[in-house]
Every structure is written in structure tokens, then in C-alpha cells.
Chains A and B, each alone.
Chain A
Amino acid sequence: MKQEQFKEEALPLRAQLLFYAQRLLNNPEDAEDVVQEVFLKLWYMRDELGAYNSVPALSVQITKRLCLNRINARQRRGEGLDAVNPASDLLTPEALLEQKDSVTHVMRIIAQLPALQQTILRMRHIDGFEVEEIAALTGSAPEAVRMNLSRARKKVKETFFKMQS
């Protein structure tokens, strides 16, 4: 499926998905992130989309799942586990040793990021899309994509700085 065709078929669903995500999450920024993620997932599935009976139904299902994931993550954060886990995971001596080992250390950086940020990094650095192109695929404002890209890059930077100290 070509980029243009994808935009034509998938993007008209955006308003509806955004409304749905907004209703589930009750937070405009989270809803925007979810919709971005939905379209990026659809983009990576673009060649399999023909196998589904209804792409709108599939998009609604993905949106629902991503929203529920986020609600679960929020609850975990409420318990204070989310904030503690990744940081302490990095700081254990075993983990530091593992990260200094050149083979395993490549494996552990992007895997710690949220799925949306992983996908944006991948599109930006491997598939060579510019921010504006990603924004066009997801129907988002470029600023919204840029924000997630910025967060992802900063997280990677911090991971490296922590390993160096």
C-alpha cells in the first residue's frame, strides 16, 4: 500500500478515533498520542490491512486496547511503581555491567521506551521519514510528533549519560 493510498483510506477515521480515545482517557494529550500510535501501527500493517473485514473496526479495536493500556499504566503510576522500576532497573550493578557489554547494551535502550516513541524513532532514524511526513501519516500536528520524538531522544541520551557516570 502506498503512502497516498494509506492516507486516503485511514486518515478519514481520525476524528472518530480521537473522539473515542478522548472519551475513554478524558485527556486530550493522551488521546492524541494514542491516535498517533494507532495510525503508526496501521502504517506498519499496511500490507496486511486487506486481510481484515473492516479497517475502521480494526482501528477502533486498536484504539480501545491502547487506551486501556494507558489506563492500566496510569493506575500503576498511581501506585508509584512505574516511576521506580525503570530507574532502579538501570542502576543495579548487574544491569550496568550488562549495558557496558557491547553486545547486550545495544539491546536494552529503545526497548525501555513506550511503544509510540519506539515507533517514531524507528520511522525517523531507520525508515528516514521527516517529522512532517510522520505527521501526515498520522494526521497529527507536526508539533505533536516532534514532542514524542524529542522525549524519545532525550530518554536515549539520559540512558547513555547514566551508563557513563
Chain B
Amino acid sequence: MTDRYKYMEDLLNRFFSGETSNEEERELYRFFAGEDIPAHLRRYKPVFSYFESGLEKELNLLTGEPAEAAEPFRRAMPKRRIRIAAGMAALALILSVAALLFLRKANAFDPYEGSYIVRSGVRITDTSLIRPEIEATIQKALQQEERANRLLLSLSASNPETRIEQIQRRINRQNEEIINRFPNEMKESIRRIIENK
């Protein structure tokens, strides 16, 4: 009998190392299902009853399937849906940015906004009507400015002495014009007043 117990103890150890075959395990189940078990092995009785039948009952009570086997399958769909949703969101974003740019262009900033021209007492505020006139005026003003600049430039280009002479000559010419407007007998006295002599 002790030989049999020794054999069973050996099977027991190999069972918990994962080394027994199906056949050997059936032997273990039979042994622990019986009544002839030495005291020190008795506590294994429920353990082997579990491996023989309890395990299956538990699995059947759970789901009948390993707990997570279906998990990736269920997750695959929402992921695809998220991709579609992301695509739609991106499209909506692109469209709204395009619309924004388009509207911006339509309402482009008008520098002449609020300008008006008064013609024969009527105030014209329609910018589309007065725009050509405003632009022509601005062109003229710019040309004027340009000419003034050119004059200043030519003045500053020549040396200071000749510049003073030029100015003096111009003043003299203007004085002469003013004096010429007066009758001959007054010219001498006017000249004296203007030239401060």
C-alpha cells in the first residue's frame, strides 16, 4: 500500500509541475475520489475534485468562453467609426476655413469707406460712384508731392551759396513783378519800401 501512496505522491508532484499526462491525471482523480487516502494527502481531495469537474462547472457558470476572447472583435468596429468621424470632422474644418477665407475676400477692407464728394450741394456717399474721382485726386496729390520732393532734392543737390542766390533771384523776380503793377511815378518809392532801403 505504501508503494501506491509513494506513486501517488510522485504523481501529485508531477501534476503541480504540469508534467502529468491525461491518463495519469485520471488516475489521480480516481485516487482522490476514493476513501482510501492517507491523512496527509486528505486535504488534496477537494482540489482534485475541482480539477476533475468543478473547473468545468465554474467555466460554464462564467461565460463558457475565455473571458477576453471576444474583446478585440467588439473593439474593431468603434475604431473604424472613430476614423470616419475624424474624417468628417476634418472635412468640416477645411470647408469652414475655406468659407471664412472666401467671405473675408468679399468683405475686404475698403480704405475709401465713409468718403464723400459734395457736388452742387448734394453729398454723394456711394463709394462705387466716387471711387474713380477719389483715385484721380489722390493720384494728382501724389504727383504734386513728387514734384515738391524733386524740387527740394534739386535744391539740396546744388551747393548752399548758389541756393541762396537762386532764392534771392526768385525773390527779386517776384518783387519786380509786384513793382511793375504800380504806376511809373510810384515804382521808386515802392521799391524802396520792399527792399527796405
B-contacting 9-mer, from A10-18, A21-29, A41-49: A41-49
Binds A, one of B13-21, B131-139, B178-186: B13-21
Find out whether the CB atom of A45 lies under 8 angstroms from the CB atom of B73: yes
Complex CA–CA separation, A131 to B72 (angstroms): 26
Assembled-state Cα–Cα distance A148/B17 (Å):
9
Which of A74-82, A84-92, A156-164 lies at the interface with chain B? A156-164
Neighbouring A residues of B76 by C-beta, 8 Å: 52
B43 within 8 A of A: yes
Q: Quick check: A122 and B59 within 8 Å, CB to CB?
A: yes
Count A interface residues, CB 8 Å. 39
Interface residues of A in 79-125 (CB under 8 A from B): 106-111, 115, 118-119, 121-122, 125
- Contacting pair A41 B66 (CB below 8 A): yes
Contact B56 A146 (CB under 8 A): no
B165 at the interface (CB under 8 A from A): no
Count of B residues near A, CB < 8 Å? 30
In contact, A160 and B56 (Cβ under 8 angstroms): no
Chain A residues near B59: list those with CB within 8 A.
Answer: 110, 122, 126
Interface membership of B68, Cβ < 8 A: yes
In the complex, are the beta carbons of B18 and A147 less than 8 A apart?
A: yes
On whether the beta carbons of B72 and A58 are closer than 8 Å, the reply is yes
Does B50 contact A109, Cβ atoms closer than 8 Å? yes
Interface secondary structure of A, over-half rule: helix
Could you tell me if A156 and B18 are in contact, using CB atoms closer than 8 angstroms?
no
Would you call A130 an interface residue if the criterion is a C-beta within 8 Å of the partner chain's C-beta atoms? yes
Q: What residues of chain A lie closer than 8 Å to B67, measured between beta carbons?
A: 111, 115, 118
* A contact residues around B196 at 8 Å (CB): none
Please indicate the chain B residues that have their CB under 8 angstroms from the CB of A160 in the complex.
43, 46-47, 50
Contact assessment for A44 and B55 in the assembled complex, using a CB-CB cutoff below 8 Å? no
Residues of chain B with a CB closer than 8 A to A70's CB: none
- Rounded to whole angstroms, the CA-CA distance of A116 and B76 in the bound complex is 22
CA–CA, A146 to B72, complex, Å? 27
Q: Does A72 contact B (CB under 8 A)?
A: no
Q: Could you write out 24 A-B pairs with CB less than 8 Å apart?
A: A44-B69, A45-B69, A52-B76, A106-B54, A106-B58, A107-B61, A107-B62, A110-B58, A111-B58, A111-B62, A115-B67, A122-B55, A125-B51, A125-B55, A125-B56, A130-B22, A131-B18, A145-B18, A146-B19, A149-B18, A153-B15, A156-B50, A160-B47, A161-B43
Which 4 A/B pairs are nearest by Cβ-Cβ distance?
Answer: A149-B18, A146-B18, A150-B18, A160-B47
Q: Interface on A for B, CB 8 Å cutoff?
A: 40-41, 44-45, 48, 52, 58, 61-62, 65, 106-111, 115, 118-119, 121-122, 125-126, 128, 130-131, 145-150, 153-154, 156-157, 160-161, 164
Add 6 more A-B contacts to A41-B69, A44-B69, A121-B55 (CB < 8 A).
A45-B69, A62-B72, A146-B17, A150-B16, A150-B17, A160-B47
